[in-house]
Structure 1
Amino acid sequence: MNNLKHAKNATKIIFLVCGLAISSWAPMVPFVKDKLRINDGSLGLLLLFLGTGAIITMPLTGWLIHKTGTRIVITVSAIVIAVSFPIVLWLNNWFEIAGMLFIFGSGVGSIDIAMNTHGAHVQNMADKHIMSSLHGLFSVGGLCGPIVVGVLIKAGLSPAITAGVISVSLLAITLTQFSSLMDQNTEHEISAKSINLTETEGNKKFSLLNGAVLFLGAMCFIAFLSEGAVLDWSAVFLRDNKGVDKAMAGIGYASFSIAMATMRLFGDKIVSKTGGKHVVIYGSIIAFAGFILVVFAPWLFAVLIGFVLIGVGAANIVPVFFTAAGRIKNVPSSKAVSVIGTMGYAGQLAGPAILGFIAHHFSLPTALFVTGLLLLSIGVTYQVKSIRNVQ
């Protein structure tokens, strides 16, 4: 029981510090753009390397976890992030930065799958919902990252030194938690018990075409696409369609993020009392109502309430899916999480392009309304579709 407590606390710390470290990249983007003196098109292409690194690494992470255990993958990924992040800020060549962003993205993708898999193991061992609070701590870290960067740069540190400070902190905290994270043998025992098979039997029967895995992956694709839509398009929408000053255009995403982080911190109790199925169904309805307000409300206050509702409704949908992935019968959790994580991240990457296409041919409000419909479809589909041994 004491080992479980240590593993649970270590997992929470890893989620928090990773959220902080990864989100610290966002405020660094303008510095990279100014240093290279590139336009938005070249910057967009450059940023694509980060996402490509993540999405290529994610499917491989499940295999690495099975071979070495999650704590080894978490530690190595943290080292990759800690080394590559400041180097990105030190380099001055577009191609060199692109290559280093690919490596940085590989670390981000790998640690994302590894810590979610470890969280699923801890949750299965404790037989108590913790996934929502883990994602809540990641969101809190994500909110703190840009603030920490801003404070350090305001204090006179260069972007590269600031990145170095954050990287050293990430690595130091990860290493101090290493011994508290579950070892490989413990994870194999938990995984075998949760899928009602030995690990060897599970590997033989697992297929990437497993229906339950693909279903959850498709749902994650939509959920991540919706979150990405708010991240990438909310400021543009408020400025161009609601007349909000560009200096305040980020208030929509801020409202969404705070609501999501708060709901995730309380999400475990909600899931325990109502069940994951109801969280997905009612959450999708609440989020859809939020999109309706955002698109059609004539007053800014009502629009911001809409962004809050999107955050409240969508907050615990993804944690429920990751929990479900860790409990699919005959499927090792490391492989299930890596597949649905990859599909989800693909949605986050594809989202801006898909919505941009819809906005170009119709309008941005139409694109956001379609996003709301997609989120609603998660609840409808989850109600209709029955997956055995997933809830």
Structure 2
Amino acid sequence: MSVKEQDLNLLQVGKKEQYAARIIFFVAGFGISTWAPMIPIIKERLQIGADILGLLLLCIGVSSFLMMPIAGLFAQKFGCKKVLRVMGLCMGVEIIILSMLPNIYMYAIFLFVLGAIGGILNVNMNIHAVIVEKLSKKRMMSGMHALWSVGCFAGAGLFSILAKLGLGISQIAIIHCIIIFMIIFAFSRYFLPYKGASNGKAIAIPKGIVTLFGVLAVISFLGEGGMMDWSGVFLTEAKGVDLSLAGVGYAVFSAAMLIGRLIGDKVVQKLGEQRVVIFGGIVASVGYIISIVFDNFFMMQFGFILLGFGAANIVPVVFTLLGRQKEMPINSAVTAVTSMGYLGVMFGPALLGFIAHGIGIVAVFCILAGMFILQAIVSSYVFKVLN
């Protein structure tokens, strides 16, 4: 019996451990969404242009990208319980620091720190989620990922309410930090001290079927990133939609994805993993195609709804399957796939921007539709190998 299997046999999972595994996703979303509303306020405070702001925000992406491939080593050395507890608390402290910094250089440093915290937290909470679901022997992954979105809505919503009441960003950050601390102190005792295999490599490089899981993740994250960054441009430039409605497409897509994940565990249980992933890719592609073909505003929104529902549960199922593959230790496999998926988020929208500049935004959406078809094809091969 391997070290990994011995570790799993020693772990016990009940309702409290399951709730704790869910809540850390909420904390991650709540924390990062506290930073987002600060951005325009800090831009004005520092008197910087969009170009400098873009470079500052790039610090988050660069540090996350650098930390993710080695983030699984933190679990291997310290265990998920300690890593999630410390990173959750660091997230709370970090948002207070970001609300108070005096100059650009300090923001560059601490945004780099924010990206590192986010990268380590993201990888380890997914490792933890895979183990909890595996030991619970029940569908949980879609619901866990849904709670990240719930955390984002809660963080941004509470920030807006407190700002309307006249509180400054430092006061709001302190309140949000207190909420994070209360959640961590209440639930962190139930995090699992999973460490994974003791022979993990320093950098998680995907191999075998894990590489294909990474491809599925890249396509899903690229599709989501494409909607976030380019749906507004698509609606206004290609479809002639009024600028005031530019954000509706992404809002509709996000709502559909959230609902799809909230009900996703039951959907996967009823339809099966293979159908959810393969047909999810096809439905997402059809959603893109509808938005391209039809000029009617409501039909375009229907396309975005299909896209959100189709893509919603692909990544959660991929993480579930990582708990069953034998090519790599779970902590290394999750680290590798999370890192690959983040490539789609970080570099994908920029690459799509070059394509949009060269051959048009409609071509970008056509490419994304084709990539979801490719995802369905790759998924069918993956399930043949697994079966």
Considering the TM-score relative to the shorter chain, is it more than 0.5? yes
In structure 2, C-alpha distance between the alignment counterparts of 1:289 and 1:52, rounded to whole Å: 33
Name 2:83's counterpart in structure 1. 73
Q: 1:369 aligned to 353, 366, 370, which one?
A: 366
After TM superposition, the score normalised by the length of structure 1 is: 0.91
Q: Unpaired runs of 5+ in structure 1?
A: 192-198
How many pairs align? 376
Query: Cα–Cα, structure 1 residues 240 and 27, in superposed 2: closer, same or farther, change >3 Å?
Result: farther
Name 2:37's counterpart in structure 1. 27
Name 1:170's counterpart in structure 2. 180
Shift of 1:367: 0.7
In structure 2, C-alpha distance between the alignment counterparts of 1:387 and 1:76, rounded to whole Å: 40
Does the residue aligned with 1:57 lie in a helix, a strand or coil? Answer: helix
Which residues in structure 2 correspond to 1:255-270 (within 5 Å)? 255-270=252-267
Which residues in structure 2 correspond to 1:187-336 (within 5 Å)? 187=194, 199-200=197-198, 203=200, 208-336=205-333
In structure 1, C-alpha distance between the alignment counterparts of 2:175 and 2:297, rounded to whole Å: 39
In structure 2, C-alpha distance between the alignment counterparts of 1:207 and 1:70, rounded to whole Å: 17
In structure 2, C-alpha distance between the alignment counterparts of 1:360 and 1:56, rounded to whole Å: 29
In structure 2, C-alpha distance between the alignment counterparts of 1:307 and 1:155, rounded to whole Å: 34
Give yes or no for contact 2:73–2:200 (8 Å, CA) kept in 1.
Answer: no
Shift of 1:327: 1.9
Name 2:356's counterpart in structure 1. 359
Q: What's the CA shift string for 1:102-161, capped at 9, x where partnerless?
A: 101111111111111111111110111110111111112222222111111111111222
Name 1:83's counterpart in structure 2. 93
Counterpart of 2:86, as a letter, is: V
In structure 1, C-alpha distance between the alignment counterparts of 2:235 and 2:322, rounded to whole Å: 36
Q: What's the CA shift string for 1:314-362, capped at 9, x where partnerless?
A: 0001101111122211522111111110111111011211110110001
Query: Cα–Cα, structure 1 residues 208 and 25, in superposed 2: closer, same or farther, change >3 Å?
Result: same
Counterpart of 2:308, as a letter, is: G
Task: Report the identity percentage.
Answer: 36
Query: Cα–Cα, structure 1 residues 46 and 168, in superposed 2: closer, same or farther, change >3 Å?
Result: same
Q: What's the CA shift string for 1:197-230, capped at 9, x where partnerless?
A: xx35x748x9724212222112211111110111
Q: Does 1:40 find its partner at 2:37?
A: no
Give yes or no for contact 2:200–2:332 (8 Å, CA) kept in 1.
Answer: no
Task: Decide which moves more: 12-21 or 379-388.
Answer: 379-388
Query: Cα–Cα, structure 1 residues 87 and 220, in superposed 2: closer, same or farther, change >3 Å?
Result: same
Counterpart of 1:260, as a letter, is: M
In structure 2, C-alpha distance between the alignment counterparts of 1:17 and 1:64, rounded to whole Å: 19
Does the residue aligned with 1:210 lie in a helix, a strand or coil? Answer: coil
Shift of 1:4: 1.7
Q: What's the CA shift string for 1:32-51, capped at 9, x where partnerless?
A: 22222222222111111011
After TM superposition, the score normalised by the length of structure 2 is: 0.92
Name 1:156's counterpart in structure 2. 166
Q: What's the CA shift string for 1:51-72, capped at 9, x where partnerless?
A: 1121111122111101111111
Task: Decide which moves more: 256-265 or 212-221.
Answer: 212-221
Shift of 1:20: 1.9
Name 2:69's counterpart in structure 1. 59
Does the residue aligned with 1:24 lie in a helix, a strand or coil? Answer: helix
Give yes or no for contact 1:22–1:142 (8 Å, CA) kept in 2.
Answer: yes
In structure 1, C-alpha distance between the alignment counterparts of 2:327 and 2:301, rounded to whole Å: 44
Give yes or no for contact 1:18–1:170 (8 Å, CA) kept in 2.
Answer: no
In structure 2, C-alpha distance between the alignment counterparts of 1:369 and 1:155, rounded to whole Å: 44
Q: What's the CA shift string for 1:215-270, capped at 9, x where partnerless?
A: 21122111111101111111222222223333332111110111001010111111
Q: What's the CA shift string for 1:339-390, capped at 9, x where partnerless?
A: 110111111011211110110001111112211211221111111345655x
In structure 2, C-alpha distance between the alignment counterparts of 1:203 and 1:107, rounded to whole Å: 21
Counterpart of 1:137, as a letter, is: L
Q: Does 1:15 find its partner at 2:12?
A: no
In structure 2, C-alpha distance between the alignment counterparts of 1:122 and 1:330, rounded to whole Å: 20
Give yes or no for contact 1:212–1:387 (8 Å, CA) kept in 2.
Answer: no
In structure 2, C-alpha distance between the alignment counterparts of 1:236 and 1:86, rounded to whole Å: 33
Q: Unpaired runs of 5+ in structure 2?
A: 1-10
In structure 2, C-alpha distance between the alignment counterparts of 1:84 and 1:289, rounded to whole Å: 41
In structure 2, C-alpha distance between the alignment counterparts of 1:45 and 1:306, rounded to whole Å: 34
Counterpart of 2:336, as a letter, is: V
Does the residue aligned with 2:159 lie in a helix, a strand or coil? Answer: helix
In structure 1, C-alpha distance between the alignment counterparts of 2:214 and 2:42, rounded to whole Å: 33
In structure 2, C-alpha distance between the alignment counterparts of 1:58 and 1:164, rounded to whole Å: 28
Task: Decide which moves more: 32-41 or 133-142.
Answer: 32-41
Counterpart of 2:237, as a letter, is: D
In structure 1, C-alpha distance between the alignment counterparts of 2:244 and 2:36, rounded to whole Å: 17
Does the residue aligned with 2:14 lie in a helix, a strand or coil? Answer: helix
Q: 1:127 aligned to 116, 133, 137, which one?
A: 137
Give yes or no for contact 1:290–1:309 (8 Å, CA) kept in 2.
Answer: yes
